[in-house]
Amino acid sequence: MPLASLSNSVPVEVNEEACIADKGCTVCVDVCPLDVLFIDEDKGKAFMKYDECWYCLPCEKDCPTNAITVSIPYLLR
Amino acid sequence: MTDSKDETETMEVDVLVIGGGTAGPMAAVKAKQANPALKVAVLEKANVKRSGAISMGMDGLNNAVIPGHATPEQYVKEITVANDGIVNQKTVMAYAQSSYDMINQLDEWGVKFEKDETGEYNVKKVHHMGTYVLPMPEGHHMKKILYRQLRRHRIQVINRYMATRLFNGPDGRIAGAMLLNSRTAETAVIRAKTIILCTGAAGRLGLPASGYLFGTYENPTNAGDGYSMAYHAGAELSGLECYQINPLIKDYNGPACAYVTGPLGGYTANATGDRFIECDYWSGQMMWEFHRELEGGKGPVFLKLDHLAEETVQEIETILHSNERPSRGRFHDSRSTNYREKMVEMHISEIGFCSGHSASGIWTDEHARTTVPGLYAAGDVGSVPHNYMLGAFVYGALAGEDAAAYCADNELPEIDAAEIARERARVLAPLERESGIPPHQIEYKLRRFVNDYLQPPKVTRKMEIGKERFDEIRADLGRMYAADPHELMRAAELQFILDCADMAAAASLYRTESRWGLYHHRVDHPEIDNENWFVHVQTKKGEDGMPVNFKREIDPYVVELDDEDKVAYQQLRVGSGQATS
Ligand SMILES: Cc1cc2nc3c(=O)[nH]c(=O)nc-3n(C[C@H](O)[C@H](O)[C@H](O)COP(=O)(O)OP(=O)(O)OC[C@H]3O[C@@H](n4cnc5c(N)ncnc54)[C@H](O)[C@@H]3O)c2cc1C
Ligand code: SF4
Ligand code: SF4
């Protein structure tokens, strides 16, 4: 079956100036219950890879540098 | 736990707890306390620090049985009536009798409950008859406190591995579980003398009205894993036709009224701002009235707070926007909703299985034992009705203690190597295909069909058509394609959801009467039929791999009901009779 890709706007935004993933931080990735946050190894920054968010906020509350902002997913806003 | 793609590592424990949310950590700690020599491990699909229904905390205890406010007998009556008589009272009694000790245990561990000036627990009335709601204004510490206990008791924690199936030994006893890593797709086998399933509700059965797959009431990591795994291990499940359906804020999955706003003067109203139910406690009967109003000319339904004093509204905002579902304030802001100015539109959640809120679960006795020796179930996935968070803790503890005793008398059973190989191949198949249908597409279609055909009011012919559609989806599984390990986790979950959909349809079709208000309202069998259906409806895996149903007698009550009690929850509509709130 052929596949197509479809882009989605995702609810989690990472402030790359504040994110210290390049210094080894993985807190948000560790705590997310849906496992949808990843570190971009080239940039050394966290990002949301899958649009599968429960907008529960552990990522935002536990981030040591307040780099994360979670919005309500667009479909529910 | 390393493992190349072609090998499966094996480890051995005495007690394996699957799911480290609420019941799970408690089960592990209590097993270890009962016998410190045991090897106890908690397996968690996410990370125990922030997993499960209480990942951010909780607003309060919904069902605290505290001396001076309620007695265990009163509580057992209340739950029996709220559940239309279909309860194994012994299991509810076991909860009620341990409830107070568990609250004190949590208090000792540092959980902050609301207390009055004299240091007594400050319990509030929400239920129809008794007084059971204990607020936790600082409920956001819950997971930290549990985590501390796991560390203190040196419990082994395995994060980011999900269980996909359980294995039985040659004599049928539980023998272990297959594990899949959601980041690397590594597999592993854990052999265990006992397994305690604490995998939470089946939260991804119905599709929320928004169409967003993860906008569910329940934490969507709980896809129905435990229900499916218990089913394949040969365990009996119960009450699967008694769905969980909750009243929620429209489009936002936060609970709205009963427990937080109710005691402060908020209530559920119709479009004219009038009350239409006497008691906001969540029950099938209450949901039926909710549904009628929602669909009727005075609908939709609203949460009414605009009559409250400023300081009360502020108190509500502080709780609702910071504890359990802290993104709620953002949702309201984006729609310019201010509690002071207008009522908040409400709606009905998607359907699911959950004994925490209704009564659908893996059948257990008052020690949390399932019908498979060595296998336990606690929390939302168990079968003790309306058990909520404190019930998850109490049954976690009961399971942990009983499992520890079971280990002393039993050896580790063997697992058939061929079965392990088969399970491994099944789990990894979607990743090995070059192309196909991604799990999220199949999941969307499946859950849309669940809404179309299973959501109450239930219609026989619709449910039969639903089963045909589910069969077609089952045939598509051979073409499911996962592009990476993360999608492979979703593919495994999709199969749990499909099993749950089949079980929901089968149990709903089997019970040819209506009961529990909206939860099992069958349009073509609209009446309660106590003569034929005053029984539990059980589900098991049949010879052909599909669900079979049968009746189980209700155990003699340990607390008798008087006639007045029996009708209390039948008359929830304002003006319908003697009910008072
Ligand atoms: C939004 C919300 C609000 C609530 N409010 C209240 C309240 O105010 N008061 C109250 O008393 N109750 C409340 N409840 C109910 C209460 O939270 C639950 O009944 C209770 O927490 C259930 O505990 P549990 O251990 O069964 O499930 P959970 O705490 O959800 O834990 C299940 C765990 O299993 C893990 N898991 C699932 N599948 C697998 C697998 N295959 N392998 C490994 N791990 C797996 C999950 O990641 C999760 O950590 C609320 C529930 C929700 C969802
Ligand atoms: S927790 Fe914050 S700082 Fe750490 S990786 Fe995530 S976004 Fe970056
Ligand atoms: S809000 Fe919750 S689900 Fe969404 S990314 Fe953050 S932790 Fe994960």
The string of pLDDT tens digits covering residues A14-37 is: 999 999 999 999 999 999 999 999
Distance, in Å, from the CA atom of B78 to the CA atom of B91, rounded to the nearest integer, reads 14
Q: How confident is the model at residue B482 (pLDDT cuts 50, 70, 90)?
A: very high
Which of B3, B22, B21, B23 minimizes the C-alpha distance to B11?
B3
The string of pLDDT tens digits covering residues B19-57 is: 999 999 999 999 999 999 999 999 999 999 999 999 888
Mean pLDDT, rounded, for B166-190: 97
The residues, ordered by sequence, that sit 6+ positions from A59 with a Cβ below 8 Å of its Cβ are A12, A27, A28, A31, A32, A37, A68, A70
Domain-located, residue A14: yes
Domain-located, residue A11: yes
Residue B576 has pLDDT above 70, yes or no: no
B216 and A62 within 8 Å at the Cβ level: the answer is no
Range of the domain at A31: 7-70
Domain-located, residue A2: no
- Count structural domains, chain A: 1
- For residue B147 the two structure tokens come to 């985590």
Query: pLDDT exceeding 70 applies to what percent of chain B?
Result: 96
A75 and B216 within 8 Å at the Cβ level: the answer is no
CATH number at residue A53: 3.30.70.20
CA distance B396 to chain A (A): 21
Q: Flag whether residue B489 sits within 8 Å of chain A, measured between CB atoms.
A: yes
Ligand lying closest to the C-alpha of residue A22: 2
- For B309-313, which contacts have Cβ atoms below 8 Å and span 24 or more sequence positions? B310/B340, B312/B264, B312/B265, B313/B339, B313/B340
Assess whether the C-beta atom of B178 lies below 6 angstroms from ligand 1. Answer: no
Question: Among 1.20.120.550, 3.40.50.300, 1.20.140.10, 1.20.58.100, what is the CATH number of B432-552?
Answer: 1.20.58.100
User: What is the overall mean pLDDT for chain B?
Assistant: 93
Q: Flag whether residue A73 sits within 8 Å of chain B, measured between CB atoms.
A: yes
Mean pLDDT, rounded, for B494-513: 98
CA B53 to ligand 1 centroid distance, Å: 3
Buried b (16+ CB within 10 A) or exposed e, B240-272: bbbbbbbbbbbbbbbbbbbbbbbbbebbbbbee
- For residue B154 the two structure tokens come to 């040196």
Residue B2 has pLDDT above 50, yes or no: no
CA B3 to ligand 3 centroid distance, Å: 29
Buried b (16+ CB within 10 A) or exposed e, B310-331: eebbebbbebbbbbbbbbbebb
Instruction: Describe the crossing of helices B23-34 and B388-409 by its angle, rounded to 10 degrees.
Output: 40
CA B60 to ligand 1 centroid distance, Å: 14
Residue with tokens 């529910």: A76
CATH number, domain B247-348: 3.90.700.10
Residue of A1, A31, A54 lying closest to B220 (CB–CB): A54
A76 and B330 within 8 Å at the Cβ level: the answer is no
Residue B1 has pLDDT above 50, yes or no: no
DSSP one-letter string for B11-63: EEEEEEEE--SSHHHHHHHHHHHH-TTS-EEEEESS-GGG-STTTT--SEESS
Give the lowest-confidence range in B104-118, B299-313, B469-483, B554-568: B554-568
Domain residue limits, chain B: 247-348, 432-552
- For residue A49 the two structure tokens come to 């890879």
Residue with tokens 């899958």: A50
- Secondary structure tally for chain A: helices H, strands E: 2, 4
Residue of A53, A61, A62, A75 best suited for mutating to test ligand 3, as the one with most atoms within 8 Å of CB: A53
For residues B86, B91, B93, B95, the Cα torsion angle rounded to the nearest 10 degrees is -120
For residues B420, B425, B427, B428, the Cα torsion angle rounded to the nearest 10 degrees is 130
| DSSP H helical ranges for B211-321 | 225-232, 284-295, 310-320
- For residue B141 the two structure tokens come to 């510490």
Residue with tokens 């408690």: B26
Whether the predicted interface score ipTM is above 0.90: yes
* pLDDT of B8: 67
The string of pLDDT tens digits covering residues A37-67 is: 999 999 999 999 999 999 999 999 999 999 9
CA distance B89 to chain A (A): 34
Domain-located, residue A1: no
Q: How confident is the model at residue B257 (pLDDT cuts 50, 70, 90)?
A: low
